[in-house]
Amino acid sequence: MLPMPLRSTRCLAAALLLALGACGKDGIADIASDRGFQGGKAYPVHPPRGERKKVRRTGAVAMQSDPIECNGAGEVVHANVQMHISAPQGAIVGGTCLLRLVNVDLVANDGVVMDGGQLVMVGGSIKAQGVGIRAKGEARVELTGVEIEGATGIEASDRSRITTEGGRIKGSGAALAARGQAKVVLQGTPLEGPMAKDETTQVTVVDAPNGESD
């Protein structure tokens, strides 16, 4: 048990923070984990509001009706979660926003739909009834050890760039559909299903299981 003076001091400090509005529902935990809070002084460590990073991390199964949204600038991070999303799209990415998924298993009608922006995904999977990942515009996709499954695994168009390492891409209709000036690099990523591409589209297969390079 803490000595009475020390315990009283801590209670007074907590009460003062609540009175000043510094602590909300989770404010005390947030301040305690904020490296900028030292010696009773809080220093702003977040970027400007337009650039703020949104981080959500949980080990539970998340059931939600709204898609993950990553638009404009900034970064959105999800890690160590199974996400079942009933919206038409599991995630919507646009602008220059970075969506980072780490060990996330995403289940949705269409997985990740991108018009610009960037998707960096490490581990985990995407299971979709329609398309696993649809990338258009200037979208950038980096996948490491990710399993994609859908009617179409990955669809790339316009000037999008797709890079994969490991994992697999499965499509009942097409594992990969690429057109326009899109560029796709598959490093040790097997395609389970047909590949369809335009003559103008560059698809490079490196260290595929069958040893092919296109």
Residue 89 sits in the same domain as residue 19: no
Residue 74 sits in the same domain as residue 164: yes
Residue 3 sits in the same domain as residue 107: no
Higher-confidence residue of 19 and 205: namely 205
pLDDT for res 42: 31
What is the spatial distance between Cα 99 and Cα 120, in angstroms, rounded to a whole number?
Answer: 6
What is the spatial distance between Cα 155 and Cα 204, in angstroms, rounded to a whole number?
Answer: 15
Say how many domains are in the chain: 2
Q: Kindly report the pTM of this predicted structure.
A: 0.71
C-alpha torsion 143→179→89→148, nearest 10: -40
What is the spatial distance between Cα 111 and Cα 92, in angstroms, rounded to a whole number?
Answer: 9
pLDDT band per the 50, 70, 90 thresholds, residue 129: very high
What is the spatial distance between Cα 2 and Cα 17, in angstroms, rounded to a whole number?
Answer: 21
How far are the Cα atoms of 26, 142, 156, 157 from residue 123, in angstroms, in the given order? 30, 11, 21, 24
- Name which of 56-65, 83-92, 197-206 the model is least confident about: 56-65
Residue 90 sits in the same domain as residue 3: no
Q: 150 lies in which domain range?
A: 47-206
Whether residue 212 is contained in a domain is answered as: no
Residue 197 sits in the same domain as residue 111: yes
Residue 130 sits in the same domain as residue 164: yes
Whether residue 134 is contained in a domain is answered as: yes
Residue 39 sits in the same domain as residue 85: no
